[in-house]
């Protein structure tokens, strides 16, 4: 194993500045009792040598790594990625180091990803767990570092950071109801997904509360293709569909158009997430926007508080926003001629 070229060390800096290495250490760590003149000499020596401190040595001496593990799904969706990048930024901002590791979600993949991070001595974790199985693996491996959860709905109580999924779903459904729809069907996300479950539960609750007949819930996998496929399984009576995300809504609108049904005249559709494309589908998609970046930032705030021994802030679920565009219209058989 060839050893890397080593840069200058504290001792080199100390020698150049005519002080001891400990004084250099004190300067770097912002110690108080240092004569300004000495500090300047040290800083100049650092500058001259292009010195960078060796974090491995520091970590070895202090027993701390400052590494925050981030487990992310390896699926490049807009929402998850937005949150991921917000987490990355916030972690770095907090003076810590993000260790982003992706997983397909299969148990062995989750396990190897977590094993990798534990092997790196992470001091905190952000688990972006779109599916419950990820949580199960994590629980089974039982490690003790502070952990925040994203994409898990409210599964983990105060450690779960998320937008209010139920409220969001309600907003979407309310938009349909307000337009006059009563035969509303739901295309949910994967059974395994906690967020999909919350939205789906909200659907059932909403229908019950408004004394509407609950049509069979169709299952998709978040992909546009699965939305497309869901269309043919739609109940003929349905005049409106609440899709659990925008991508499936896009696929479903495509299928509707192939099937000769026009959105919003023959079928109303709402999505969830407000991905950038949602404003430009045909027709532009009415959807529910959630602030992905905000949940990422909040999760890190939770962890830094825990790491510094402060009381973690209470995280209220974030309020989503209904974005009304053109995919919702009144029900009825106003078939457009084409």
Q: Quote the least distance from Cβ 83 to a second copy, whole Å.
A: 9
Say if strands 147-150 and 160-161 run parallel, antiparallel, or are unpaired.
parallel
**Out of 25, 38, 133, 223, the residue judged to bind a second copy by CB under 8 A:** 223
Query: Is position 99 an interface residue for a second copy (rule: CB under 8 A)?
Result: yes
Q: Quote the least distance from Cβ 175 to a second copy, whole Å.
A: 21
DSSP 8-class letter at 238: -
Query: Is position 57 an interface residue for DNA (rule: CB under 7 A)?
Result: yes
Q: How far apart are CA 31 and CA 41, in angstroms?
A: 15
310 binds, among a second copy, DNA, none (CB under 5 to 8 A by kind): none
Closest CA relative to residue 327, chosen from 294, 282, 289: 282
Query: Is position 133 an interface residue for a second copy (rule: CB under 8 A)?
Result: no
Query: Is position 38 an interface residue for DNA (rule: CB under 7 A)?
Result: yes
Q: How far apart are CA 111 and CA 30, in angstroms?
A: 40
- # chain residues binding DNA, by CB under 7 A: 32
Query: Is position 25 an interface residue for a second copy (rule: CB under 8 A)?
Result: no
Query: Is position 66 an interface residue for DNA (rule: CB under 7 A)?
Result: no
**Out of 30, 32, 95, 337, the residue judged to bind DNA by CB under 7 A:** 32
Query: Is position 120 an interface residue for DNA (rule: CB under 7 A)?
Result: no
User: Tokens for 90?
Assistant: 């916030």
* Long-range contacts of residues 147-152, Cβ cutoff 8 Å, at least 24 apart: 147/303, 148/124, 148/299, 148/300, 148/302, 148/303, 149/299, 150/83, 150/87, 150/126, 150/295, 150/296, 150/299, 151/73, 151/80, 151/83, 151/194, 151/195, 152/127, 152/194, 152/195
Say if strands 97-103 and 124-128 run parallel, antiparallel, or are unpaired.
unpaired
Q: Which is nearer to a second copy, 202 or 256 (CB)?
A: 256
Query: Is position 211 an interface residue for a second copy (rule: CB under 8 A)?
Result: no
Site for a second copy in 279-308 (CB under 8 A): 279-282, 284
Q: Quote the least distance from Cβ 189 to a second copy, whole Å.
A: 15
Cβ-contact 323, 274 below 8 angstroms: yes
DSSP string, 271-334: -SB--GGGGGSSSPPBEEE--HHHHHHHHHHHHHHHHTTPPPPP-PPBPPEEE--SS----S--
Q: How far apart are CA 87 and CA 80, in angstroms?
A: 11
221 binds, among a second copy, DNA, none (CB under 5 to 8 A by kind): none
CA torsion, ordered 233, 236, 237, 241, to nearest 10 deg:
40
**Out of 21, 89, 167, 205, the residue judged to bind a second copy by CB under 8 A:** 89
Q: Which is nearer to a second copy, 42 or 278 (CB)?
A: 278
User: Tokens for 61?
Assistant: 């001496």
DSSP 8-class letter at 26: H
Q: Which is nearer to a second copy, 88 or 170 (CB)?
A: 88
Kindly indicate which of the ranges 33-41, 93-101, 194-202, 208-216 contains the residues binding a second copy, using the contact rule CB under 8 A. 93-101
Query: Is position 224 an interface residue for a second copy (rule: CB under 8 A)?
Result: yes
User: Tokens for 286?
Assistant: 């009415």
Site for a second copy in 144-203 (CB under 8 A): none
Enumerate binding residues for a second copy (CB under 8 A). 1-6, 52, 54-57, 59-60, 62-65, 74, 76, 78, 81-82, 84-85, 88-89, 92, 97-102, 116, 118-121, 123, 223-225, 227-228, 247, 250-251, 253-254, 257, 276-277, 279-282, 284, 309, 336-338
């Amino acid at each position: 194993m060839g050893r890397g070229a080593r840069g200058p060390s504290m001792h080199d800096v100390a020698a150049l500045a005519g002080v001891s290495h400990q004084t250099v250490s004190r300067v770097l760590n912002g110690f108080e009792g240092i004569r300004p003149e000495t500090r300047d000499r040290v800083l100049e020596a650092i500058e001259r040598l292009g010195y960078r401190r060796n974090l491995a040595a520091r970590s070895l001496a202090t027993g701390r790594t400052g590494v925050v593990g981030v487990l992310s799904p390896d699926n490049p969706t807009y929402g998850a990625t937005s949150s991921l990048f917000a987490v990355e930024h916030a972690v770095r901002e907090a003076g810590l180091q993000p260790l982003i590791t992706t997983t397909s979600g299969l148990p062995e993949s989750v396990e190897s990803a977590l094993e990798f991070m534990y092997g790196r001595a992470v001091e905190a974790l952000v688990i972006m767990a779109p599916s419950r199985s990820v949580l199960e693996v994590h629980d089974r491996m039982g490690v003790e570092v502070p952990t925040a959860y994203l994409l898990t709905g409210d599964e983990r109580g105060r450690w779960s950071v998320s937008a209010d999924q139920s409220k969001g779903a309600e907003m979407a459904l309310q938009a349909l109801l307000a337009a006059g729809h009563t035969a509303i069907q739901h295309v949910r996300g994967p059974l395994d997904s906690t967020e999909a479950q919350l939205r789906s539960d909200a659907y059932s609750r909403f229908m019950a509360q408004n004394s509407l007949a609950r049509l069979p819930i169709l299952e998709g996998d978040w992909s546009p293709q699965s939305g497309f496929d869901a269309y043919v399984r739609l109940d003929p009576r349905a005049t409106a569909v609440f899709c659990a995300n925008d991508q499936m809504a896009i696929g479903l609108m495509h299928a509707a158009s192939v099937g000769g049904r026009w959105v919003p005249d023959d079928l109303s559709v709402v999505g969830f997430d407000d991905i950038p494309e949602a404003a430009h589908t045909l027709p532009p998609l009415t959807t529910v926007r959630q602030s992905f970046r905000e949940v990422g930032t909040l999760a890190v705030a939770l962890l830094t508080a825990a790491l510094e021994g402060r009381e973690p802030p209470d995280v209220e679920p974030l309020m989503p926003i209904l974005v009304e565009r053109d995919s919702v219209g009144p029900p009825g058989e106003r078939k457009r001629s084409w």
